[in-house]
């Protein structure tokens, strides 16, 4: 059976599973729609959180980033992993004890201000749409290759599936769907990694194969081989970084604190019955996430060695384009690989200098890896299903945040406080449908590759939500005016910096022109500092939070009463 047929079968079966779960777990109340009734067991919530967290950026793009960037790509690995630890330890239990539906709900009540709530809603929508653009592009990349449709059609298919189980099931449907999606995506990620590790190094565990010698009898270590290939072909040495220390620090830190401020991840901790269950589910999620994140560097290294040797041939003189492997011709149809025969010798050659004749989109590396390694067709189809699962699981979580921010925080809490539960639920579903349509547009017209777009979203979250949440928990005197001023200044500064270098003047997007040498991917760290500085400056010039708010903050930090917490 060919790859396309198997892909239709495996991806189609996974879609039927997701839709079946959505029908079974259909939300009947706003409590079900927003927080799954607050009754999800910690293990299942941990698995759903891991699926929500491991988006197309983690599944599709992260290993591709590391494969192309080498040591420099480690910032994504470190930032995203460290950020989840920060979230689990410093934020999740306190937010769960506060017992609100959404992050804007927390900010609105903690800062006793409808203005703060509205600003938080706008920030949530902006961050989520930036993030979801990367997810929808990931869906398009998968479908464009494996279903042999164009990216536009692929995105539309993904929109339909997300629409069905987000609008129908809400958080309840999404939670149980994400449990299934985690199982699909982690199996799809590990199977080819194990196969290729055994082929390249003889180690069944990719994590140990990463530091092992090759099976060709040369006694050369995998990373030693990569360093040699990289320098020979004009690339930076694979195990040496080219980024400045300050940029590495800022990107890593922006990804870390951005993680801790992402509303679609935080809301997962509102779905468990008790505060201690929030801590447990955070631990489970970290374990589930670690399985993929410790595999990614080895998968990236295997993919790069195989790709270079396949394109350049065993003697590194190039491979005849007429006899090019099928994976190159297949991906050429999508436009994500292009070949230009510069010297007219009829051969392909891949390098980091003027000899290069290949343009390869880094987002294809994980998806193309099984084809490059000549793995069975069912493995290739399985990876396609995993990529779709990763992209759709996070898309659903993000779109639900947009939906609940509009229906609950903007309508119920601000504009129409007398709205009925039924009308609020309907408005949430309509908002989700509109959000999916807008997300689809950004998926068709993304502002960059998957990992890069997601990095921008993390920077925006770092500069807006993280300081407001941290100050809301650990600075009981912080007032509404300081929080609002901080959020606005932080996100405006960060967004303006990203927009200037990525859209207004992309030609200037080089280290020499960056503020303190910090790239757009890392500017969220400075935006966070701006947020804190402005918030405390305004706070010093205004009255501190009322006594009842200070008592409220004290109560969520005090361990007493860490059992049942209201979801209202």
Over residues 16-37, the pLDDT tens digits come to: 777 777 677 565 555 555 554 4
Q: Find out whether 145 and 367 touch, Cβ atoms under 8 Å.
A: yes
Per-residue pLDDT band for 70 (boundaries 50, 70, 90) equals: confident
Mean pLDDT value across residues 148-157: 76
Q: How many whole angstroms separate alpha carbon 410 and alpha carbon 407?
A: 6
Q: How many whole angstroms separate alpha carbon 423 and alpha carbon 64?
A: 44
3-state secondary structure of 72: helix
Mean pLDDT value across residues 457-467: 86
Cα–Cα separations (whole angstroms), residue 118 to 199, 311, 400: 55, 53, 17
Rg (Cα) of the chain, in Å, rounded? 24
pLDDT of residue 492: 93
The answer to which of 80-84, 448-452, 482-486 has the lowest mean pLDDT is: 448-452
Per-residue pLDDT band for 567 (boundaries 50, 70, 90) equals: very low
Residue 420 scores a pLDDT above 70 = yes
**Closest listed residue to residue 71, CA positions, set 219, 203, 251:** 251
pLDDT over 90 for what percent of the chain? 14
* Chain position carrying tokens 């989109």: 361
Q: Find out whether 483 and 535 touch, Cβ atoms under 8 Å.
A: yes
**Closest listed residue to residue 169, CA positions, set 27, 45, 38:** 27
Q: Find out whether 370 and 380 touch, Cβ atoms under 8 Å.
A: yes
**Closest listed residue to residue 142, CA positions, set 387, 429, 457, 431:** 387
The answer to which of 29-43, 226-240, 461-475 has the lowest mean pLDDT is: 29-43
Residue 270 scores a pLDDT above 60 = yes
Instruction: State the number of CA atoms in the 13 A half-sphere of 450 facing the CB.
Output: 31
Per-residue pLDDT band for 566 (boundaries 50, 70, 90) equals: very low
**Closest listed residue to residue 32, CA positions, set 151, 164, 175:** 175
More confident residue, 39 or 520: 520
Residue 486 scores a pLDDT above 90 = yes
3-state secondary structure of 319: strand
Q: pTM here?
A: 0.78
Q: How many whole angstroms separate alpha carbon 295 and alpha carbon 289?
A: 10
The phi, psi pair for 421, rounded to 5°, reads -60, -40
What are the beta bridge partners of residue 564? Answer: 274
Q: b/e map of 113-140 (b: 16 or more CB within 10 Å)?
A: beebbbbbbbbbbbbbbbbbbbbbbbbb
Mean pLDDT value across residues 53-76: 80
Mean pLDDT value across residues 101-110: 79
Per-residue pLDDT band for 450 (boundaries 50, 70, 90) equals: low
Task: Summarize pLDDT for 166-175 with one digit per residue, the tens.
Answer: 665 555 667 7
pLDDT of residue 562: 43
Strands (E), 298-361: 319-320, 337-339, 347-348, 358-360
Query: How would you classify the pairing of strands 358-360 and 347-348?
Result: unpaired
Query: How would you classify the pairing of strands 337-339 and 319-320?
Result: unpaired
Q: Find out whether 176 and 183 touch, Cβ atoms under 8 Å.
A: no
Per-residue pLDDT band for 564 (boundaries 50, 70, 90) equals: very low
pLDDT of residue 539: 94
**Cα 189 from chain centre:** 16
């Amino acid at each position: 059976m060919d790859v396309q047929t198997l892909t239709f079968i495996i991806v189609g079966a996974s879609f039927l599973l997701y839709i079946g779960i959505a029908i079974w777990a259909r939300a009947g109340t706003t409590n079900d729609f927003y927080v799954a009734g607050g009754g999800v067991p910690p293990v299942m919530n941990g698995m759903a959180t891991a699926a929500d967290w491991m988006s197309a950026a983690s599944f599709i793009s992260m290993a591709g980033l590391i494969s192309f960037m080498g040591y420099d790509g480690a910032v994504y690995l470190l930032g995203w992993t460290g950020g989840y630890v920060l979230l689990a330890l410093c934020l999740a239990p306190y937010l769960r004890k506060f017992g609100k539906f959404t992050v804007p709900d927390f900010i609105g009540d903690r800062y006793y201000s409808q203005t703060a709530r509205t600003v938080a809603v706008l920030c949530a929508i902006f961050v989520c749409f930036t993030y979801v653009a990367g997810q929808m592009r990931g869906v398009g990349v998968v479908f464009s290759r494996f279903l042999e449709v164009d990216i536009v059609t692929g995105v539309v298919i993904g929109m339909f599936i997300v629409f069905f189980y987000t609008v129908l099931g809400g958080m309840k449907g999404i939670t149980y769907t994400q449990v299934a999606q985690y199982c699909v995506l982690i199996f799809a990620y590990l199977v080819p990694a194990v196969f290729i590790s055994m082929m390249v190094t003889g180690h069944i565990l990719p994590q140990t194969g990463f530091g092992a010698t090759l099976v060709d009898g040369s006694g050369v270590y995998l990373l030693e081989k990569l360093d040699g290939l990289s320098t020979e072909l004009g690339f930076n040495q694979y195990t040496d970084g080219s980024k400045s220390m300050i940029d590495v620090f800022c990107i890593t830190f922006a990804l870390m604190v951005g993680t801790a401020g992402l509303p679609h991840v935080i809301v997962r901790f509102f779905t468990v019955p008790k505060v201690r269950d929030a801590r447990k589910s955070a631990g489970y999620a970290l374990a589930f996430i670690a399985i993929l994140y410790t595999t990614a560097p080895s998968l990236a290294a295997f993919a790069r060695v195989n790709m270079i040797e396949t394109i350049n041939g065993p003697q590194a003189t190039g491979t005849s384009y007429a006899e090019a492997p099928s994976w190159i011709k297949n991906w050429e149809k999508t436009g994500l690989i292009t070949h230009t025969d510069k010297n007219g010798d009829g051969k392909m050659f891949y390098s980091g200098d003027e000899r290069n004749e290949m343009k390869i989109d880094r987002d294809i590396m994980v998806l193309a890896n099984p084809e490059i390694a000549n793995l069975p067709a069912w493995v290739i189809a399985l990876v396609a299903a995993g990529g779709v699962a990763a992209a759709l699981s996070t898309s659903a979580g993000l779109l639900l945040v947009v939906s609940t921010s509009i229906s609950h925080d903007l309508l119920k809490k601000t504009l129409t406080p007398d709205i009925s539960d039924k009308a609020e639920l309907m408005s949430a579903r309509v908002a989700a449908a509109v959000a999916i349509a807008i997300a689809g547009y950004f998926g068709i017209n993304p502002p960059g590759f998957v990992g890069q777009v997601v990095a921008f979203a993390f920077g925006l979250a770092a500069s807006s939500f993280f300081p407001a949440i941290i100050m809301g928990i650990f600075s009981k005197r912080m007032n509404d005016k300081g929080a609002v001023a901080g959020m606005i200044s932080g996100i405006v500064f960060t967004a303006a910096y990203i927009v200037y270098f990525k859209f207004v003047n992309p030609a200037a997007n080089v280290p020499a022109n960056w503020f303190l040498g910090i790239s757009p991917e890392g500017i969220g760290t400075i935006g966070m500092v701006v947020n804190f500085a402005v918030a405390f400056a305004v706070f010093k010039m205004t009255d501190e939070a009322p006594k009842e708010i200070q008592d409220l903050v004290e109560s969520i930090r005090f361990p007493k009463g860490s059992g049942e917490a209201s979801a209202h």
